[in-house]
């Protein structure tokens, strides 16, 4: 921050100095021309008096810097005297043109009595200022002098430029000190005691920082609480099947299990192993969703085709539960990951079958409009009470924990649905009435059409 403030202050100072320098140089350049014109005007008046009193002999003793020309009313040169240029070299005394009435300063002098012009000299080859004055006898007396070049003016104001350089150095030192003085109170702000600040203007910023700090602390505490609950739930959920597997395997190893019960024990061990594997798979899936590291790139997916495959794979399970599952609607496309969407739809349909009534139905419906694409899974099952509807998407949450072992599952299905929907920028809507059934709808944003 010190560097930024220092740089900005210094840039302002440099800009001001440059502007002032340019203005001073322009004024000096313009002033030098005005001074020269006034000097030529006085010299012309003095030369006129000498000419009227002594004739052209008056000019012979003058040491002029420039040129003096006496011209009659017709523009013919009566007398032309060229002195020395600023470098001290004598100039050529031969006039470039005998008729001078074509020059603007002479024309203005003939009409108005006096005239001036800045133009390139025919003899000297430099830019010069000309001043012409009409005498009482109608003749024109013209005096010229080479103008100082830009470099000459620059050399004249060079002391001022050195002063500007010194001022610039002083400005840099002061800018650095000012930047440090401005930043020091900001760096010394104690966020634990925000009331002790040097700049009242920073109070809104401090309050915003305090709010964010409290929000971060609350989120950290919530995450820590969720982590502890998640760890405890995982430990409990994993311990139950592993304990069962360990106990049954020990009984079998000790030969306590009768031969006719061996098959039953083996099937129980297998089921508990499948339950453990499913739990681990769900935990891995949730971890990937939390880290947004689900893997494959999103692609165009037909929700109807995907749902048809899921419904087909669950038909046998629905038949065993005496539940009818069917798919309806239209083909609708979304952008997503096929494996994740399949798992989401499977979890919704699996829950709809598990928590249904014998003879019940599960309806999977796909619909699409200009606003959104919707996938609904409706069942005629036991339903969810109002007080639990906001919690069913929590990890390991079960409405009836006592019947969880009978129903099966890992308790992570709807949590995967929620996080998967978030990954696909979709919303989850839930409608349920106890004893009447539940409808869960995934609302996907409309897939943008690619221009060909």
Q: Domains of the chain: which residue ranges?
A: 2-156, 190-293, 297-452
361 pLDDT above the threshold of 90: yes
Helices (H), 55-157: 57-60, 104-112, 150-156
Tell me what the pLDDT averaged over the chain comes to: 77
User: What's the Cα-to-Cα distance from 398 to each of 350, 393, 405, 415, 427, rounded to whole Å?
Assistant: 15, 9, 11, 11, 22
**DSSP three-state, residue 183:** helix
Q: Say which range, 114-123, 281-290, 388-397, has the weakest mean pLDDT.
A: 281-290
Distance CA 257, CA 248 (A): 9
Question: Parallel, antiparallel, or unpaired for β 324-329 and 361-368?
Answer: parallel
**190-293 under CATH 1.10.3720.10, yes or no:** no
pTM: 0.46
Q: Among residues of the chain, what percentage have pLDDT more than 70?
A: 73
Fold of 297-452: Heat Shock Protein 90 (3.30.565)
Confidence of residue 87 (pLDDT cuts 50, 70, 90): very low
Range picked from 154-158, 269-273, 333-337 for highest mean pLDDT? 333-337
Coil, helix or strand at residue 107: helix
Q: What mean pLDDT do residues 420-430 have?
A: 88
Q: What is the pLDDT of residue 77?
A: 86
Residue 398 has pLDDT above 50, yes or no: yes
Looking at the domain covering 2-156, what would its CATH class be?
alpha beta
**For tokens 């009659």, what's the residue?**
72
């Amino acid at each position: 921050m010190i560097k930024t403030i220092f740089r900005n202050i210094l840039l302002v100072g440099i800009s001001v100095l440059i502007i002032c320098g340019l203005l001073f140089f322009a004024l000096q350049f313009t002033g030098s021309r005005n001074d020269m014109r006034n000097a030529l005007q006085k010299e012309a008046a003095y030369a006129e008096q000498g000419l009227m009193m002594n004739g052209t002999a008056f000019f012979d003793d003058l040491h002029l810097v420039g040129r003096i020309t006496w011209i009659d009313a017709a523009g013919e040169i009566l007398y032309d005297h060229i002195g020395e240029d600023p470098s001290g070299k004598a100039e050529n005394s031969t006039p470039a043109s005998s008729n001078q009435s074509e020059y603007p300063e002479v024309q203005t002098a003939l009409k108005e009595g006096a005239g001036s012009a800045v133009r390139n000299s025919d003899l000297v080859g430099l830019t010069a200022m000309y001043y012409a004055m009409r005498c009482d006898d109608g003749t024109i007396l013209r005096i010229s002098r080479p103008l100082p070049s830009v470099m000459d003016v620059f050399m004249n104001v060079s002391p001022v430029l050195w002063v500007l350089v010194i001022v610039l150095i002083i400005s840099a030192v002061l800018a650095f000190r000012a930047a440090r003085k401005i930043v020091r109170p900001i760096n010394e702000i104690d966020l634990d005691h925000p009331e002790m600040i040097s700049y009242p203007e920073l109070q809104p910023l401090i309050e915003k920082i305090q709010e964010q700090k409290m929000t971060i602390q609350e989120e950290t505490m919530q995450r820590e609480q969720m982590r502890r609950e998640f760890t405890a739930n995982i430990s409990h959920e994993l311990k139950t099947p592993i304990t069962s597997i360990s106990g049954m395997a020990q009984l079998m190893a000790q030969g306590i299990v009768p031969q006719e019960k061996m098959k039953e024990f083996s099937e129980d061990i297998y089921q508990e192993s499948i339950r453990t594997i499913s739990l681990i798979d769900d935990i891995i899936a949730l971890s990937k969703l939390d880290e947004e590291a689900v893997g494959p790139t999103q692609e165009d997916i037909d929700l109807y085709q995907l749902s048809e495959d899921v419904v087909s794979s669950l038909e046998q399970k629905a038949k065993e539960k005496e539940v009818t599952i069917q798919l309806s609607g239209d083909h609708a496309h979304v952008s997503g990951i096929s494996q994740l969407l399949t798992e989401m739809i499977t979890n919704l349909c699996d829950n709809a079958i598990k928590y249904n009534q014998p003879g019940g139905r599960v309806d999977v419906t796909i619909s699409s409009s200009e606003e959104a694409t919707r996938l609904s899974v409706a069942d005629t099952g036991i339903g969810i009470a109002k007080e639990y509807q906001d919690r069913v998407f929590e990890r390991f949450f079960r409405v009836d924990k006592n019947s969880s072992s009978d129903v099966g599952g890992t308790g992570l299905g709807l949590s995967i649905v929620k996080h998967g929907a978030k990954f696909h920028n979709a919303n989850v809507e839930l409608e349920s009435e106890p004893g009447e059934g539940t409808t869960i709808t995934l609302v996907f944003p409309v897939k943008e059409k690619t221009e060909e």
